[in-house]
Amino acid sequence: MSNKSKGSNAERALVKLFTENGWRALRIAGSGVGDESPCDVIVGKVGRRGHAIEVKSSKKNRIYITKEQIDDFMRFSLMLGLSPVIAVKFNYQGWIFLEPSVLEDTGKYWAVSLENAQKNGNKFGQFFEN
């Protein structure tokens, strides 16, 4: 299975998680392929603020994201009045949701380690239902 299809499957699984929990979720097809779709998923719920979500999954214990991708993602989120969220999934771990401000600056990239995600992130219910 290619990295692209693994990423698409992760996005679909996340959309299903939101839907099962009473949120409306939309996966953005072709996300990450140019300026037209700078986020992976948009979610909303009556009475709650909407979120733009950048989805990342990895077999490794560290995920790298280009600074340009995060800049585009943040600009898009704020332009639409959506709260930006990074959703990460490491092998054999559930989804962890992070504020972009906790990403680590490596110089060329923004990064998130499994340790950082566990320390600074929250599970679905903690992040979206509180």
Which domains are assigned to the chain? Answer: 3-128 (3.40.1350.10)
Catalytic positions are: 31
Looking at residue 4, its pLDDT comes to: 59
**pLDDT by residue (tens digit) across 16-64?**
999 999 999 999 976 555 556 789 999 999 999 999 999 999 999 999 9
This prediction's pTM: 0.90
Under 8 Å CB-to-CB from 129, ≥6 apart: which residues?
Answer: 21
